């Protein structure tokens, strides 16, 4: 959104292809309908209104409900809207796919009532639906944010079950001075924790052995802390282990990827201005590496200005000068990330679920079947996929790819960064043969 | 359990109605189809093709494909990406798609 508005103000013609029905991405989802109505969502959510309003510019053509399913050399972008596909070419294409919840496999994670915490938050934003009798389980500041929003909506969670340990928090302390560059975020975090304490929401830390069981739709959530077993009866288990870049489109477009060891995920290779090694393709925001909404907004401005310099025939060296303010903004917004990455690192359990746990939700492939395939010789994700069908379903590995990487690494000892990510191919989202047949390709 | 796992806060937003397998469901204007179904009740939206396990919408943002339904005759639509419209016809999809043999 920030990139489109910046580019349009700089005189570029912009086509914005957004898969969602309305602007806002996931962080500011549905902001143009909610405006400031849903006060329990908090002040940071309301900031999205300014971003969405800026899209109302004569140089921007917004096409919501458009799913990009292919990017070719040119670059040429092919997308589906209402079951009809078409192509556009442009000298510069910015891929801003955002982040998705990291897959969190544990026994019972496929049961009705278990869903990502971020998904529950989307339901609050799109439909004013507040989770009922919910347990928040996993790790990361998003759990505190959602808990605070639920408290303000008069439906506090039953408990917050966190996997990070006190030792991790202590170890992350060395990143704290840098994090103080973004004092707003630190103060917000402290205020959320205070609100959770005042609301008397039970918090467990250092939790492990997650396990959900369903009895006629009612859930019981089991876990352990310090060897002691606990169980909570609930209607919802809202999980979170951080977010990771959504990279299927980028990989299918041929962008080279790099492993982010601190966040245990893939992200596209890019320079400081979001330029990728592929001609005409740029990346920005959490889809290019997770740093949060404020950093993404600054990055949108940075990339758009770098593109504008090229469109207007200016020397690329000028861009950093134009971007001085945004670069400073991004530097501050990114400052808290090393602290968050260390304090709220994902639980090792989700990288190595028990044998009976489904890891590929689409094709219902268990961790045991994947381990079996690896022990019978599969030494890459492609072989695992061919052997087990994991990653072959409609989500195309979005929900299992990272888990497969970790399982393969665990079984073979190959570090994750040396295991090429699942190959993503176009169409990156299913399209009908009819839409393919009607596609007009201009030469 | 049948009741929704979510509480709908009372608002003055307009209501729309659509059908789910022929049964009328009332939703709030602006709901995605998946959100409207989650708000309607807690029953499974589909059963998996292989084991028949019950599933409900999961990621709500177009990633997981758990919320696939048939909308106005079009199968395999990600219902979390579509806003509900008055009079929409939504059908659940169960198991794998059957291959239809048409004669004549």
Q: How many cross-chain Cβ pairs, A to B, lie less than 8 Å apart?
A: 133
Contact B61 A119 (CB under 8 A): yes
What pLDDT does residue B86 have?
A: 96
3-state secondary structure chain B: CCCCCEEECCCCCCEEEEEECCEEEEEECCCEHHHHHHHHCCCCCEECCCCCCEECCCCCCCCCCCCEEEECCEEEEEHHHCECCCCCEEECCCCCCCCCCCCC
Residues B74, A236: C-beta atoms closer than 8 Å: no
The CA distance from B86 to the nearest CA of chain A, in Å, is 16
- Which parts of chain A sit beneath pLDDT 70? 441-443
Summarised one tens digit per residue, pLDDT across range A162-205 is: 999 999 999 999 999 999 999 999 999 999 999 999 999 999 99
Interface of A with B in 67-86 (CB under 8 A): 67, 83
ipTM for this model: 0.93
What pLDDT score was predicted for residue A25? 94
**What CA–CA distance (Å, rounded) separates A115 from B67?**
12
**pLDDT score for B61:** 96
SS (H, E, C) chain A: CHHHHHHHHCCCCEEEEECCCCCCCCCCCCHHHHCCCCHHHCHHHHCHHHHHHCCCCCCEEEEECEEEEEEECCCEEEEEECCEEEEEECCCEEECCCEEECCCCCCCCCCCCEEEHHHHHHHHHHHCEEECCEEEEEECHHHHHHHHHHHHCCCCCCEEEECCCHHHHHHHHHHHHHHHHHHHHHHHHHHHHHHHHHCCCEEECCEEEEEEEEECCEEEEEEEECCEEEEEEECEEEEEECEEECCHHHHHCCCCEEEECCCCEEEECCCCCCECCCCCEEECHHHHCCCCHHHHHHHHHHHHHHHHHHHCCCCHHHHHHHCHHHHHHHHHHHCCHHHHHHHCCCCHHHHCCCCCCEEECCCCEEHHHHHHHHHCCCCCHHHHHHHHCCCCCCCCCCCCHHHHHHHHHHHHCCCHHHCCCCCCCCCCCCCCHHHHHHCCCCC
B-chain CB neighbours of A236 within 8 Å are 5-6
CB contact under 8 A, B55 and A110: yes
**What Cα–Cα distance (Å) separates residue A437 from each residue in A18, A22, A84, A433?**
23, 28, 10, 6
**Min CA distance, B102 vs chain A (Å)?**
19
**Cβ <8 Å between B30 and A30:** yes
- Partners of A69 on chain B (C-beta within 8 Å) are none
Asked if the C-beta of A362 comes within 8 angstroms of chain B's C-beta atoms, the answer is yes
Per-residue pLDDT of chain B (104 residues; tens, 9 = 90+): 589 999 988 777 889 999 999 999 999 999 999 999 999 999 999 988 889 999 999 999 999 999 999 999 999 999 999 999 999 999 998 766 665 566 64
CB spacing of A363 vs B63 below 8 angstroms:
no
Q: What is the pLDDT of residue A321?
A: 93
Partner residue opposite B9 with nearest CB, options A26, A101, A153:
A153
Which chain A residues touch B74 with a CB distance below 8 Å?
83
């Amino acid at each position: 959104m920030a990139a489109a508005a910046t580019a349009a103000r700089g005189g570029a013609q912009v086509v914005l292809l957004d898969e969602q029905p309305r602007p806002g991405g996931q962080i500011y989802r549905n902001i143009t309908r909610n405006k400031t109505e849903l006060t329990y969502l908090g002040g940071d959510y309301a900031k999205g209104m300014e971003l969405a309003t800026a899209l109302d510019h004569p140089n921007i053509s917004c096409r919501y409900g458009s799913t990009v399913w292919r990017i070719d050399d040119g670059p040429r972008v092919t997308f589906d809207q209402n079951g009809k596909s078409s192509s556009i070419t442009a000298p510069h294409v910015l891929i801003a796919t955002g982040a998705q919840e990291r897959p969190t496999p544990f026994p019972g994670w496929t049961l009705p009532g278990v869903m990502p915490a971020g998904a529950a938050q989307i339901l609050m934003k799109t439909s004013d639906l507040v989770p009922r009798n919910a347990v928040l389980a996993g790790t990361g500041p998003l759990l505190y944010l959602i808990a605070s929003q639920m408290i303000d909506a008069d439906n506090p969670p039953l408990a917050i079950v966190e996997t990070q340990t006190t030792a991790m928090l202590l170890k992350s302390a060395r990143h704290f001075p840098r994090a103080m560059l973004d004092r707003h975020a630190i103060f917000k975090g402290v205020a959320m924790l205070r609100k959770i304490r005042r609301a008397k929401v039970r918090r467990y830390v250092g939790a492990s052995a997650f396990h959900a069981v369903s009895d006629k739709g009612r859930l019981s959530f089991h876990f352990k802390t310090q060897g002691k077993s606990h169980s909570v009866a609930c209607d919802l288990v809202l999980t979170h282990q951080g977010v990771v870049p959504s990279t299927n489109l980028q990989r299918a477009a041929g962008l080279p990827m790099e492993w982010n060891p601190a966040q245990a995920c893939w992200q596209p290779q890019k320079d400081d201005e979001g330029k990728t090694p592929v001609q005409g393709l740029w990346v920005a925001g959490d889809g290019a590496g997770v740093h949060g909404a404020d950093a993404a907004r600054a990055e949108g401005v940075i990339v758009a200005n770098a593109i504008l310099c090229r469109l207007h025939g200016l020397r690329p060296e000028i861009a950093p000068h134009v971007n001085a303010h945004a670069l400073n903004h991004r530097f501050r917004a990114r400052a808290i990330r090393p602290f968050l990455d260390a304090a709220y690192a994902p639980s090792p359990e989700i990288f190595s679920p028990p044998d009976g746990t489904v890891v590929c939700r689409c094709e219902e492939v268990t961790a045991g079947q994947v381990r079996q395939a690896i022990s019978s010789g599969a030494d890459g994700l492609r072989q695992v996929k061919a052997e087990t069908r994991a990653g072959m379903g409609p989500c195309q590995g979005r929900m299992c790819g990272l888990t497969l990487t970790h399982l393969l690494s665990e079984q073979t000892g190959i570090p994750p960064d040396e295991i090429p990510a699942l190959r993503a191919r176009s169409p990156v989202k299913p399209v009908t043969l009819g839409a393919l047949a009607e596609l007009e390709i201009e030469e | 359990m049948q009741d929704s796992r979510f509480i709908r806060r009372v608002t003055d937003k307009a209501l729309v109605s659509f059908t789910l397998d022929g049964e009328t469901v009332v939703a709030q204007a602006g709901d995605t189809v998946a959100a409207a179904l989650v708000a309607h009740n807690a029953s499974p939206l589909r059963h998996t093709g292989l084991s028949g396990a019950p599933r409900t919408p999961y990621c709500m943002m177009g990633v997981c494909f758990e919320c696939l339904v048939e909308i106005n005759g079009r199968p395999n639509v990600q219902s979390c990406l579509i806003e509900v419209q008055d009079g929409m016809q939504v059908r659940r999809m169960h198991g794998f798609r059957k291959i239809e043999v048409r004669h004549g």
